[in-house]
Amino acid sequence: MQASYSNKRVPQSTLKLMHRVYKYVLPSVKQELTQLRQLAERIPSEELRTQALNSIRDKKFHCQGGSVYAVANMAYLPILIPLIVALQTISDYLDNLCDRSTSLDPDDFRMLHQSMLDAATPGASLQNYYMHRDDSDDGGYLQHLVRTCQQQIAKLPAYSIVQEQVLELIGLYSDLQVYKHICTESREVKLLEWWRKHQASYPHLQWNEFAAAAGSTLAMFLLFLAASDEHLTLAEAEQMKINYFPHVCSLHILLDYLIDQEEDKQGGDLNFCNYYENESLMIERLQFIVGRAREDVKQLPASRFHSLIIEGLLALYLSDPKVREQSEVRHISKQLMKNSTLSRIFFFINSRWIRIRRL
């Protein structure tokens, strides 16, 4: 595959990648989130304002991690970072709204996530995404995020090639968010019904691993990057999606759930890591998915860059302070970090440094 970012300018060493992260990604993401925080602070509804501000404060690292894809094509960095930050912020904000919502209405959750579909559809009309809930005055915050995505997407030369794949991924993401947030007694039933519709395509996965894959935004960000190449073909775009979904995406969200187990238990939230029969099986399955993810990304242009993404994912989540606060998670983390590559150790140290310095 000959893509414009499959050349020597793509960072394919840990030092070059982290140099660009410190020089470009962290300052740019900080700037974008500062502007969004200022907008969020002016949201009239106290509840919506609280959830918007909390998502920016607590999930900043999602935007930082996602924006790493932008450094693979520096010419499009001023487009990709605002796009990735805006879409990831929609995701994080809506996740907070659904997790902490007094509503259990699937129509409400579905309409909220229509905003992500509209964000990825240039020219789509903005809607009242809060139409099924009483708390709806966000001062235009969510529509601003949708509009930002649309404006940046319009600048990607090959977006029409990847749009179908992006919308398919957002559709799966939306399904997941609806089914995992409805009333407790219906969640597993609906999730398993949904899984049965897709099971034949992913027979080697367990249902919770597929659900985790659906909860990731990484394949969307990869496709945004791919769309910066004006020579991209539909066959290449379809293959890229397959190279990331399900294994890279599943790994991403399973690691996220791994470190959030205690937090989700206290909040009564569904956690996909709780569906393994025991700790040994969880470690075995995580290692299996890591292995499959590594094999998948070898087929991508600038494959070393994507291999570093996987090592960075492991380092980012396993270095989180939440790991040290949970004895079982700490033990699993040690098992996953055994025989780590030098790049993973390097990213592990840098992840801790970034958190300490609050960059």
Domain match, 189 and 55 both: no
Residue 126, domain member (yes or no): yes
DSSP helix/strand/coil, 347? helix
Q: Which residue has the tokens 């240039």?
A: 122
CA of residue 325 relative to chain centroid, distance: 24
Q: What pLDDT does 8 receive?
A: 53
Domain match, 176 and 295 both: yes
Domain match, 356 and 327 both: yes
Q: What pLDDT does 3 receive?
A: 46
What's the domain range around 26? Answer: 11-155
Domain match, 210 and 176 both: yes
Residue 280, domain member (yes or no): yes
Which residues neighbour 288 within 8 Å (Cβ) at sequence distance 6 or greater?
Answer: none
Report how many domains make up the chain.
Answer: 2
Burial letters 289-301, b for 16+ CB under 10 A, else e:
bbebbbebbeebb
Residue 201, domain member (yes or no): yes
Residue 262, domain member (yes or no): yes
Could you tell me the CA-to-CA distances from 255 to 221, 239, 314, 317 in Å, in that order?
A: 18, 24, 7, 6
Which of 111, 136, 155 is the last residue in one of the domains? 155
How far apart are the C-alpha atoms of 271 and 267, rounded to whole Å?
11
Which of 106, 133, 155 is the last residue in one of the domains? 155
Residue 2, domain member (yes or no): no
Domain match, 166 and 288 both: yes
Domain match, 112 and 164 both: no
DSSP string, 248-277: HHHHHHHHHHHHTHHHHHHHT---GGGGSS
Domain match, 122 and 220 both: no
Residue 238, domain member (yes or no): yes
Domain match, 184 and 108 both: no
How far apart are the C-alpha atoms of 132 and 165, rounded to whole Å?
28
Question: Which pair of structure tokens corresponds to residue 179?
Answer: 């089914």
For the chain, the straight-line distance linking the first and the last C-alpha, in angstroms and rounded, comes to: 36
Output DSSP code: residue 72: G
pLDDT tens, the chain, 359 aa long: 344 555 558 888 999 999 999 999 999 999 999 999 999 999 999 999 999 999 999 999 999 999 999 999 999 999 999 999 999 999 999 999 998 766 789 999 999 999 999 999 999 999 999 999 988 999 999 999 999 999 999 999 999 999 999 999 999 999 999 999 998 889 999 999 999 999 999 999 999 999 999 999 999 999 999 999 999 999 999 999 999 999 999 999 999 999 999 888 887 788 999 999 999 999 999 999 999 999 999 999 899 999 999 999 999 999 988 998 988 889 898 898 887 788 888 888 988 888 877 77
Which of 101, 125, 155 is the last residue in one of the domains? 155
Domain match, 138 and 285 both: no
CA of residue 259 relative to chain centroid, distance: 15
Domain match, 135 and 213 both: no
The answer to whether the CB of 47 falls within 8 A of the CB of 135 is yes
Domain match, 23 and 85 both: yes
Could you tell me the CA-to-CA distances from 90 to 36, 85, 145 in Å, in that order?
A: 11, 9, 7
The answer to whether the CB of 246 falls within 8 A of the CB of 213 is yes
Domain match, 283 and 296 both: yes
Dihedral angle at the C-alpha atoms of 340, 67, 269, 93, nearest 10 degrees?
170
DSSP helix/strand/coil, 129? coil
Burial class of residue 37 in the structure, from the number of CB atoms within 10 Å of its CB (0-12 exposed, 13-18 middle, 19+ buried)? middle
In the chain, % helix, strand, coil (3-state, to 5) comes to 75, 0, 25
Number of H helices, E strands in the chain: 19, 0
Residue 246, domain member (yes or no): yes
Residue 5, domain member (yes or no): no
